[in-house]
């Protein structure tokens, strides 16, 4: 069995993502490394298209180092062979990377690379019974693992994702196949992801008119309790962070007010801009205001916002109540108990291995 863990870094996500790193680790079923590498890619974009904030604060190489390398179309045969030669493909927030791969395929008029994949972040969220967003680095910390240094080097992130998944399996006492069986919803496919994204966007657009009126009334009622809010630092969320429930988003806004911050959608006057998994119109406005208007806007992740407010926030920008994260009667736990029964192990006996 060959298992692939891969991670991408982007030079830009304006009008489709442009990849500048394809980092990967291939292992056997025992997670012994067979091959690893980082393909450094020339994104072949103009100076105006570069994400300058990412170049300065995230990417581990200089613009020159990327532009001296081969373009994506030259790496395409190798990347396609790597993916298609492996039995399982995993990564952290892999739905974004899977989409980005095919963004570049489309840009170079190449056939799409369609494959099944599993998101280690979602496995971890099932394992921890939580919906909060979490980075590769913070999963390492929570699992008390010492990963390789060099966050945002695609090869390093792929390797650290691999050791996280290996540790989750070790703690559960399950194989990859058993974990996949326990978490069927973690599996996705590139072509399905693209179709579901289009469908979801349509559904969201259909509901906007209906939701906006009710949401505005409830928000106004909450905001009236904080008459001084206009003097507080403003937090703005990327328009790619789409809530699934009005109540969850309203709870977040109230938590923002309670912490002494204001909330709004006007990027040009915000102090903090919360990035999502995709690049939306507000992201573009944020970059424009930082780069062209020299605005002092700090970009943060949902996880960093959670730490600022000292609450748990999911990927949809919703405040998750503590009791919602500790429900024991989850689909994962139910499947786990059934799987243990087949092995002749009680859930209580299984839990004893974690006792100090």
Q: ∠ CA 196-302-315 to the nearest 5 degrees?
A: 25
Shared-domain flag, residues 235 and 154: no
The answer as to whether 97 is a domain residue is: yes
> What is the predicted pLDDT for the residue at 355?
60
Shared-domain flag, residues 100 and 130: yes
> What is the predicted pLDDT for the residue at 347?
77
Q: What is the CATH number of the domain that holds 101?
A: 3.30.420.10
The answer as to whether 346 is a domain residue is: yes
- 174 three-class SS: coil
Residues sharing a CB contact under 8 Å with residue 209, sequence separation 6 or more, in sequence order: none
CB contact at 8 A, 42 and 69? yes
Residue 49 token pair: 């298209």
Shared-domain flag, residues 319 and 338: no
> What is the predicted pLDDT for the residue at 211?
55
CB contact at 8 A, 186 and 118? yes
Shared-domain flag, residues 313 and 334: no
Quote the number of domains for the chain: 3
pTM of the model: 0.72
Give the DSSP per-residue string, 271-313: SEEE--SS--HHHHHHHHHHHTS----EEE-HHHHHHHHTSEE
The answer as to whether 123 is a domain residue is: yes
CB contact at 8 A, 349 and 343? no
Q: Which domain holds residue 356?
A: 328-356
The answer as to whether 202 is a domain residue is: no
Shared-domain flag, residues 153 and 177: yes
Residue 166 token pair: 């290996």
Shared-domain flag, residues 54 and 178: yes
Shared-domain flag, residues 260 and 352: no
The answer as to whether 213 is a domain residue is: no
Give the DSSP per-residue string, 215-279: HHHHHHHHHTT-TTGGGSPEEEE-TT---S-HHHHHHHHHHHHHTT-EE-S-GGG-SEEE--SS-
Rounded distance between C-alpha atoms, residue 44 and residue 20, angstroms: 9
Shared-domain flag, residues 169 and 291: no
Rounded distance between C-alpha atoms, residue 132 and residue 137, angstroms: 14
The answer as to whether 205 is a domain residue is: no
Shared-domain flag, residues 63 and 102: yes
Rounded distance between C-alpha atoms, residue 350 and residue 336, angstroms: 10
> What is the predicted pLDDT for the residue at 185?
84
> Shortest CA distance to 5 belongs to which of 133, 97, 77, 74?
97
Shared-domain flag, residues 231 and 174: no
pLDDT lower than 70: segments of the chain: 191-213, 322-331, 353-356
What are the beta bridge partners of residue 234? 262
Shared-domain flag, residues 317 and 274: yes
Shared-domain flag, residues 36 and 180: yes
What's the chain's Rg over C-alpha atoms?
21
The answer as to whether 208 is a domain residue is: no
The answer as to whether 70 is a domain residue is: yes
């Amino acid at each position: 069995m060959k298992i692939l863990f891969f991670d991408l870094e982007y030079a830009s996500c304006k009008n489709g993502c442009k990849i500048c790193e394809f980092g990967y680790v291939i292992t056997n079923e025992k997670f012994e490394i067979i091959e690893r590498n980082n393909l450094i890619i020339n994104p072949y974009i103009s100076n105006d298209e570069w994400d300058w904030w990412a170049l300065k604060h995230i990417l581990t190489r200089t613009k020159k180092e990327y532009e001296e390398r081969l373009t994506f179309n030259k790496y395409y045969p190798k990347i396609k062979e790597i993916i298609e030669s492996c039995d399982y493909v995993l990564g952290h927030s892999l739905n974004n990377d899977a989409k980005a791969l095919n963004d570049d395929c489309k840009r170079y008029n190449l056939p799409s690379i369609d494959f099944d994949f599993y998101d280690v972040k979602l496995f971890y969220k099932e394992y921890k019974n939580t919906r909060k967003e979490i980075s590769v680095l913070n999963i390492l910390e929570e699992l008390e693992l010492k990963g390789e240094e060099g966050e945002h080097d695609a090869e390093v992130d792929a390797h650290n994702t691999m050791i996280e998944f290996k540790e989750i399996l070790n703690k559960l006492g399950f194989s990859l196949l058993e974990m996949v069986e326990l978490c069927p919803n973690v599996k996705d496919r590139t072509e399905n992801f693209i179709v579901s994204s289009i469908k979801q966007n349509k559904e969201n657009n259909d509901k906007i008119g209906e939701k906006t009126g009710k949401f505005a009334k409830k928000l106004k009622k909450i905001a009236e309790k904080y008459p001084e809010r206009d003097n507080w630092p403003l937090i703005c969320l990327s328009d790619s962070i789409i809530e699934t429930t009005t109540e969850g988003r309203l709870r977040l806004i109230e938590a923002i007010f309670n912490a002494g911050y204001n909330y709004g959608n006007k990027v040009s006057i915000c102090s903090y801009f919360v990035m999502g998994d995709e690049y939306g119109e507000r992201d573009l406005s944020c970059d424009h205001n930082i780069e062209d208007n020299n605005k002092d806007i700090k970009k943060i992740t949902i996880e960093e916002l959670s730490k600022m407010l000292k609450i748990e926030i999911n990927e949809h920008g919703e405040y998750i109540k503590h009791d919602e994260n500790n429900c024991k009667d989850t689909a994962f736990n139910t499947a786990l108990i059934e799987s243990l029964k087949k092995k002749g192990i009680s859930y209580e006996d299984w839990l004893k291995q974690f006792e100090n």
